Amino acid sequence: MEAHRSTAGGRDEAAAAAPVPAAPQAAPPVAPPDAPEIALPPVDAAEAAPPALPDFVDNAPLEQEDLSQTPVGRTVRNIGHGGTFVPNGTVRKPADPATHEATLMPATERAIRRDLRNHRFDATTSFDYVFRSLRARFPRAHLGQDTEAVRQGLLALGTAMIDPPGPPAAQGDSTVPAVYTYWGQFIDHDITLNTNGPDATSGAGGDQALGNIDTAPFRVFAPNVVVRSLHNGRHPMLNLDSLYGSGPRFAGEPDRGTTRSEAAYVPGSPKLRLGRVATTPIPGFQLVAPGDDAQRDLPRSGTGAPLVPDDRNDENLVVAQFHVAMIRFHNAVVDWVARTEPLLAADDRMLFDRAQQLVRFHHQWLVANDYLRTLTKPGVLDEVTLTGNLLFRPFRRISMPLEFAVAAFRFGHSMVRNGYDYNVNFGAGGARPFASLEQLFQFTGGGGMGPSLPSNWPIDWTRFTDKGDPDPGHGARKIDAFLARGLGEMRNLPPGLLRQLAQRNLLRGYMLAIPTGENVARALHLEPLTPAQLRRGASQGVSDALDALGGRTPLWYYVLKEAEVQGNGNFLGEVGSRILCETFVYLLREDRDSYVRHAGGWSPADGVRLEDGSMITTLPDLMRFAGVLPVAHAADGAPVFRTDGGHRAGHDGLS
């Protein structure tokens, strides 16, 4: 290990684009007759009419107001990458190493058990499929029916997708800044959290929880069973659940249960807490600029556990540092609102609510106009926003598309590098040539870190965020059908589980009845990739595994290969882009509190601004406002960071 830190035991260790147009105030679960049509050939009858959904107790769409009936927070603990929740009778139990399941926090547990008794799921939201005609054609439109043969083929494909030993190829670098990999992970944690329910069908194995690929025997579930039994522990509306949880509680407000997220907040303040790093250098290493800024870690308990609403944002150090940037952005917005809207400053609740609204609006706008426009095929987002997102019409109005959550949005795994030019200590000219992926998993609460981040490990965001950076080492890996070697063995997963990420993704897609890439392309009236394109540049192991699958390509692999073929690894192809754009536009239009449905409209011109009057139109702008990215450089080249009222921007107000 390359850094030193003190642990509790005393041991030392080393453009502003066109905004997404607003939807009508009432968004029905099916398209009205006069809805605009996408310029595609007519669909068949199976696509036009959704199949029946047997065994639903309550056929009423789950409205957004239903969620407010459950005052519990979305605070989750003891869960890592790919983890799931299952309702059961035990509270505060750590993740089961045999199944990777973790229990819900106590009040959430009680709420879900109550919902189960009442045949409702107010504490969760739904998953559903985008392509109804393919759902109706299960299993013909999916991977093969010989479960064990397909499982073995997927395991072989996952093994072959991991980079071979040796230095990575230079052509593996994309033009996309590395931050987009981890911004995508932060977004994913904000909108998806699998809450497994048992398969209620009769017969052997009928009580098996969905999604647990480590449970024997391996089973594939029919789409109707998946929709009925799989639930989302997040409210998928880009409302920053993972940052805010259920919010703070101020004096005079009722105590609504132990799952509320007060630990993430400064007591009696609308600001979020930050953790501290030392401001004295470790021998052999330098302080990371600005060296006197101690507030650059997640808030943590004495054991190093993160005190944030979603432990998954401490899975690796880069996503943890991104969460820190979002905490600081919120705090900086609180200061800005208090200064520019002084009537709100005297009321902590009003001040918090206004700051939270602005933070959500800015982030939502950036997801649509920075993240999506960077990573999707040019023109696809414009088509979806201008003609209407008509693909996803779920049975329950607030739902998460399975093809997105289980396949397409996992493209970011391919963008992870084996090592990063991370900061002045771990990168060009530093004490070490790079920060390894393994180290980024180690310097987290789950990786054995002590109670605070060492002073040589805060991130230097200038090495991660510049689209014009000529250094290819500052870019993400290309989106292709290969994963970094470090993802071949997920260090922080419990022993006894399948720890290879590609295999986990492939098996989960098969278990949850995700259609093949070829069939999804046809459903979009696109010409599927040819067998030669799917094998272009592939190893013999990949080709053999695809042959064994008999021309039925897993959607996740297809999306990765499509990006390589159509976007040269710098952006997604047509299928991947369409699924992403349809999903995010749907989420923004269905959320009555999103910026696209704000009365009178909203744009960054209505939000916070930097001192020179610049609007927040890119992710780097947000980071500059938060005080984690320089706003200028002094005459001697030293970076200058934003301050506010005599303190560094984004600080939590505590000494």
* DSSP line for 571-592: S--HHHHHHHHHHHHHHHHH-T
Burial class (CB in 10 A: 0-12, 13-18, 19+), 339: exposed
pLDDT score recorded for residue 210: 73
Residues in the chain, total: 655
pTM beyond 0.75: the answer is: yes
pLDDT score recorded for residue 38: 24
Question: Could you give the CA distance from residue 179 to residue 243 in angstroms, rounded to a whole number?
Answer: 18
Q: Are 388 and 589 a contacting pair, CB within 8 Å? A: no
Mean pLDDT by 10 residues, the chain (655 residues): 38 41 40 28 31 29 35 46 43 39 45 48 76 96 95 96 72 92 97 67 51 82 91 87 90 69 91 96 96 96 90 94 99 98 95 98 98 98 87 86 97 96 95 94 78 94 96 95 85 57 94 97 98 96 97 98 98 98 94 94 97 98 99 96 95 93
Q: How many CB atoms lie within 10 A of CB 500?
A: 21
Question: Could you give the CA distance from residue 262 to residue 249 in angstroms, rounded to a whole number?
Answer: 7
Q: Are 375 and 580 a contacting pair, CB within 8 Å? A: yes
Helix, strand and coil content of the chain, in percent to the nearest 5, comes to 35, 10, 55
Parse the chain into domains and list their residue ranges. 15-68+122-165+199-233+377-412+476-608, 262-308+315-357+417-474+627-655
Q: Are 53 and 224 a contacting pair, CB within 8 Å? A: yes
Question: Could you give the CA distance from residue 295 to residue 307 in angstroms, rounded to a whole number?
Answer: 14
Q: Please, what is the end-to-end C-alpha distance for the chain in angstroms? A: 31
